[in-house]
Amino acid sequence: MAVDVKPSVVVRRSPTEVAAFMFDPANDLRWTGGITSSTPAQPGPLVAGATVVRTAKFLGRTFTYGYVVTRHEPNRLVELKVDRPFPMVVRYELAQHPDGTLVTIHASGSPGRFFGWATPLMARRVRTSIVADLDRLRACMEIG
Protein backbone atom coordinates (compact mmCIF):
# COMPACT_ATOMS: atom_id res chain seq x y z
CA MET A 1 0.00 0.00 0.00
CA ALA A 2 1.30 3.47 -0.90
CA VAL A 3 0.75 7.07 0.09
CA ASP A 4 -0.49 9.17 -2.83
CA VAL A 5 -1.96 12.59 -2.06
CA LYS A 6 -2.41 15.63 -4.30
CA PRO A 7 -3.97 18.68 -2.58
CA SER A 8 -4.26 22.02 -4.41
CA VAL A 9 -4.99 25.67 -3.69
CA VAL A 10 -5.42 28.79 -5.82
CA VAL A 11 -3.04 31.62 -4.95
CA ARG A 12 -3.93 35.10 -6.21
CA ARG A 13 -0.47 35.75 -7.65
CA SER A 14 1.21 34.91 -10.95
CA PRO A 15 3.07 31.60 -11.40
CA THR A 16 6.32 33.59 -11.64
CA GLU A 17 5.72 35.21 -8.23
CA VAL A 18 4.65 31.92 -6.62
CA ALA A 19 7.64 30.05 -8.06
CA ALA A 20 10.08 32.73 -6.89
CA PHE A 21 8.81 32.29 -3.33
CA MET A 22 7.92 28.60 -3.21
CA PHE A 23 10.96 27.27 -5.08
CA ASP A 24 13.45 29.12 -2.85
CA PRO A 25 14.48 27.13 0.26
CA ALA A 26 15.18 30.43 2.06
CA ASN A 27 11.37 30.70 2.43
CA ASP A 28 10.76 27.12 3.64
CA LEU A 29 10.32 28.03 7.32
CA ARG A 30 7.66 30.59 6.40
CA TRP A 31 5.30 28.18 4.66
CA THR A 32 6.35 24.57 5.35
CA GLY A 33 5.04 23.30 8.68
CA GLY A 34 6.91 20.98 10.99
CA ILE A 35 10.39 21.95 9.86
CA THR A 36 12.77 23.72 12.21
CA SER A 37 15.62 24.21 9.75
CA SER A 38 16.20 24.13 6.01
CA THR A 39 19.78 24.23 4.74
CA PRO A 40 20.40 24.23 0.99
CA ALA A 41 23.81 23.11 -0.26
CA GLN A 42 23.91 26.36 -2.24
CA PRO A 43 21.75 29.48 -1.92
CA GLY A 44 19.09 30.44 -4.41
CA PRO A 45 16.10 28.84 -6.08
CA LEU A 46 15.83 25.09 -6.54
CA VAL A 47 17.18 23.68 -9.80
CA ALA A 48 17.83 20.12 -10.96
CA GLY A 49 20.50 18.51 -8.81
CA ALA A 50 20.11 20.93 -5.89
CA THR A 51 20.10 19.39 -2.42
CA VAL A 52 18.60 20.60 0.85
CA VAL A 53 18.82 19.19 4.38
CA ARG A 54 15.90 19.81 6.73
CA THR A 55 15.17 19.07 10.36
CA ALA A 56 11.52 18.28 10.99
CA LYS A 57 8.98 16.98 13.45
CA PHE A 58 6.54 14.35 12.18
CA LEU A 59 4.34 11.95 14.16
CA GLY A 60 5.99 13.07 17.39
CA ARG A 61 9.55 12.42 16.21
CA THR A 62 12.31 14.84 15.26
CA PHE A 63 14.59 13.82 12.43
CA THR A 64 16.87 15.20 9.78
CA TYR A 65 16.33 14.34 6.15
CA GLY A 66 17.57 15.45 2.78
CA TYR A 67 16.06 15.88 -0.61
CA VAL A 68 17.43 16.26 -4.09
CA VAL A 69 15.71 18.07 -6.95
CA THR A 70 15.22 15.49 -9.69
CA ARG A 71 13.27 17.71 -12.10
CA HIS A 72 12.81 21.44 -12.58
CA GLU A 73 10.75 23.45 -15.06
CA PRO A 74 11.04 27.19 -14.37
CA ASN A 75 7.87 28.76 -12.96
CA ARG A 76 6.02 25.45 -13.33
CA LEU A 77 7.45 22.43 -11.52
CA VAL A 78 9.97 21.19 -9.00
CA GLU A 79 10.21 17.48 -8.21
CA LEU A 80 11.98 16.34 -5.04
CA LYS A 81 13.22 12.91 -4.04
CA VAL A 82 12.84 12.63 -0.25
CA ASP A 83 14.31 9.89 1.91
CA ARG A 84 12.56 10.39 5.28
CA PRO A 85 10.29 9.76 7.08
CA PHE A 86 9.94 7.28 4.20
CA PRO A 87 10.99 7.35 0.52
CA MET A 88 8.75 9.73 -1.41
CA VAL A 89 8.60 11.85 -4.51
CA VAL A 90 7.13 15.30 -3.89
CA ARG A 91 6.14 17.52 -6.79
CA TYR A 92 5.42 21.23 -6.51
CA GLU A 93 3.26 21.99 -9.55
CA LEU A 94 2.12 25.44 -10.70
CA ALA A 95 -0.47 26.15 -13.39
CA GLN A 96 -2.06 29.34 -14.67
CA HIS A 97 -5.56 29.84 -13.24
CA PRO A 98 -8.12 32.59 -13.97
CA ASP A 99 -7.69 33.83 -10.38
CA GLY A 100 -3.89 33.50 -10.25
CA THR A 101 -1.98 30.23 -9.87
CA LEU A 102 -3.20 26.73 -9.13
CA VAL A 103 -0.61 25.28 -6.74
CA THR A 104 -0.56 21.50 -6.28
CA ILE A 105 1.70 19.43 -4.09
CA HIS A 106 1.73 15.77 -5.11
CA ALA A 107 3.39 13.41 -2.64
CA SER A 108 3.70 9.70 -3.33
CA GLY A 109 5.73 6.94 -1.81
CA SER A 110 5.72 3.69 0.06
CA PRO A 111 6.23 3.71 3.83
CA GLY A 112 7.84 0.26 3.70
CA ARG A 113 8.04 -2.20 6.58
CA PHE A 114 8.49 0.17 9.52
CA PHE A 115 5.53 2.44 8.70
CA GLY A 116 3.73 -0.03 6.41
CA TRP A 117 1.09 -1.03 8.91
CA ALA A 118 0.19 2.64 9.36
CA THR A 119 -0.06 3.62 5.68
CA PRO A 120 -3.71 4.83 5.90
CA LEU A 121 -2.79 7.00 8.92
CA MET A 122 0.35 8.23 7.16
CA ALA A 123 -1.63 9.19 4.06
CA ARG A 124 -4.07 11.23 6.17
CA ARG A 125 -1.24 12.93 8.07
CA VAL A 126 0.67 13.73 4.86
CA ARG A 127 -2.51 15.16 3.26
CA THR A 128 -3.32 17.23 6.37
CA SER A 129 0.25 18.53 6.52
CA ILE A 130 0.29 19.50 2.82
CA VAL A 131 -3.11 21.22 3.03
CA ALA A 132 -1.80 23.28 5.97
CA ASP A 133 1.38 24.09 4.01
CA LEU A 134 -0.69 25.28 1.05
CA ASP A 135 -2.82 27.46 3.33
CA ARG A 136 0.35 29.03 4.79
CA LEU A 137 1.77 29.51 1.28
CA ARG A 138 -1.40 31.28 0.17
CA ALA A 139 -1.33 33.51 3.26
CA CYS A 140 2.33 34.40 2.68
CA MET A 141 1.70 35.24 -0.97
CA GLU A 142 -1.60 37.10 -0.58
CA ILE A 143 -1.26 38.76 2.83
CA GLY A 144 2.49 39.17 3.10
| Model confidence pLDDT, tens digit, residues 50-86 | 999 999 876 677 889 899 999 999 999 999 999 877 7
Does the predicted model carry a pTM greater than 0.85?
yes
Give me the helix-helix angle, 119-142 and 15-22, nearest 10°.
120
Q: Per DSSP, what are the bridge partners of residue 96?
A: 101
pLDDT score of 100 more than 80: yes
pLDDT at residue 112, rounded to an integer: 63
What region, left, alpha or beta, does residue 60 occupy, with left being phi > 0 and alpha being psi -120 to 50 degrees? left
Cβ neighbors of 20 (< 8 A, separation 6 or more) are 45
Query: With contact defined as beta carbons under 8 Å apart, do 103 and 94 qualify?
Result: yes
CATH number, domain of 120, equals 3.30.530.20
pLDDT at residue 83, rounded to an integer: 83
What domain range includes position 45?
3-142
> CA–CA separation, 1 vs 119, rounded Å?
7
Q: Per DSSP, what are the bridge partners of residue 10?
A: 102
Number of domains into which the chain is organized: 1
- 3-state SS assignment for residue 9: strand
Give the amino acid at 108. Answer: S
